[in-house]
Amino acid sequence: MSKKIFSGVQPTGNLHLGNYLGAIKNFVELNNQKDNECIFCVVDLHAITTKQEPKELKKNIRETAATFIASGIDPKKSIIFNQSMVPAHSEGAWILSCVSRIGWLNRMTQFKEKAGKDKEKASIGLYSYPVLMAADILLYDATHVPVGDDQKQHLELCRDIAQKFNNDFNAPGFLRFPEPLIQKEFSRIMSLKDGLKKMSKSDPSDLSRINLTDDKEQILNKIKKAKTDPLPMPSESNNLSQRPEVENLLGIYSSLVNQNLEKSMYEFDGKNFSEFKEKLSEILIEKIEPISKEIKKLLNDEKYLDGILLEGSQKADKIASKKIREIKELVGF
Ligand code: TYM
């Protein structure tokens, strides 16, 4: 069955191994499957829910598009565009925010994490961010949405919003319920410094993550400094959850070589950490360094990247503007 795929990545800089293994690697596989229609969006409207420096934002929009292409998404086969170029996203988000309930948004754990203690000072955009995300997906009748584990709750909310819109406007089946595509294993990559914290763009320590623009030396250094524990390499998964850093590093290795955790444990059983780290760095360099080099090369050609985004947004606009017209008609505008 052919799938309609939609997913997005925020252009907030420091795209990292978590973004790659949790989402972008999956985008590439979906792009390569014959019958899929894929749309990959640089979600710049989402980015401004926290303060962005305009010049940096412009650079990061291009860098995110470059990361998609450098990772293997073919812009001739998939649509790559940035959200702010297609007005239907903002319009859709407003209309859907009028069917969404405050109680639903109050349950969103990501808002609580991002807003932190001082949630009165968070932007309204940060709070209603999942409604914009729902608009992104529903405008394209996406059937499948590949994301990392942290976006699961937002996708459940998207289905609730679609259902309420369809009920309120007596339009059964009009907004299509999307299926999340979350990998069974390794869908949450953790910080290299703290196995209980998600690897994140906003972690102040650059040593906590492998950036997709890191070079060989940086990768080697970060893996060398990655936290482990004094115990030997584990031979079974029983008490691995009590060793989150080790579990995470083994998970990263397994995901990169496409094998399950058990197999990786068997491979390193009885060996010491330095040997494991050496292998891990090797595979990381093999997979990430070519992407990093290609991103840098593409960034030198702003005209090319802007052309891809323009062409992509024209294609996306055709689809989204039709859907938003139908939405407006149902609402009574
Ligand atoms: P964003 O930009 O935070 O992250 C982009 C993708 O990377 C995944 N990810 C991770 N996966 C595993 N381990 C990690 N440590 C990790 N960190 C990030 C995220 O799950 C995501 O898939 N709201 C979204 C962007 C968005 C979107 C959409 C996604 C906007 N509209 C519509 C899908 C459909 C976000 O902030 O992702």
Distance separating alpha carbons of residues 79 and 317, to the nearest angstrom: 11
> By three-state DSSP, how is residue 190 classified?
strand
- The predicted model scores a pTM of 0.96
pLDDT on residue 270:
85
The per-residue pLDDT for 164 is 98
Ligand 1: residues with CB < 6 A are: 6-10, 18-19, 22-23, 43, 46, 133, 136-137, 145, 147-148, 150-151, 187-189, 198-199
List pLDDT tens digits, range 95-147: 999 999 999 999 999 999 999 888 899 999 999 999 999 999 999 999 999 99
Cα of 148 vs centre of ligand 1, distance in Å, is 6
Q: How many CA atoms lie less than 13 Å away from 168 in the CB half-sphere?
A: 17
Residue 1 has pLDDT above 80, yes or no: no
pLDDT at 213: 97
Q: Which pair of tokens denotes residue 191?
A: 């910080």
Which of 6, 149, 150 has most ligand 1 atoms within 8 Å of its beta carbon, as the pocket-test mutant?
150
Contact 308, 75 (CB under 8 A): yes
Counting other chains too, the contacts that 257-263 makes at CB distance below 8 Å and 24 or more residues apart are 257/283, 260/185, 261/185, 261/237, 262/237
Pocket mutation for ligand 1, best pick of 81, 89, 151 (most atoms within 8 Å of C-beta): 151
* 113 Cα: distance to centroid of ligand 1 (angstroms): 15
Atom of ligand 1 at shortest range from CA of 9: 2
Residues 232-256 pLDDT 10s: 899 888 888 899 999 999 999 999 9
Mutate to test the pocket of ligand 1, among 30, 96, 147 (most ligand atoms within 8 A of CB): 147
What pLDDT shows up at residue 184?
87
204 C-alpha to ligand 1 centroid (Å): 19
Q: Which pLDDT belongs to residue 282? A: 98
Q: Which residues carry out catalysis?
A: 114, 198, 201
pLDDT of residue 242: 92
The ligand 1 atom at the shortest distance from the C-alpha of residue 142 is: 34
Among 46, 44, 109, smallest CA distance to 309 is for 44
Give the residue, by CA position, lying nearest to ligand 1 atom 37.
9
Q: Which two tokens stand for residue 21?
A: 């293994």
Whole-number Å distance, alpha carbon 267 to ligand 1 midpoint, is 31
Return the percentage of the chain with pLDDT > 70, whole number.
Answer: 100
Q: 99: closest CA among 127, 135, 123, 126? A: 135
Domain 4-187+302-331 has CATH 3.40.50.620: yes
Which CATH number does 206-297 carry?
1.10.240.10
- Which is it for the CA torsion 54, 55, 56, 59, positive or negative? positive
> pLDDT by residue (tens digit) across 275-315?
999 999 999 999 999 999 999 999 999 999 999 999 999 99
The domain limits of the chain are 4-187+302-331, 206-297
Query: What's the 150 CA to ligand 1 centre distance in angstroms?
Result: 7
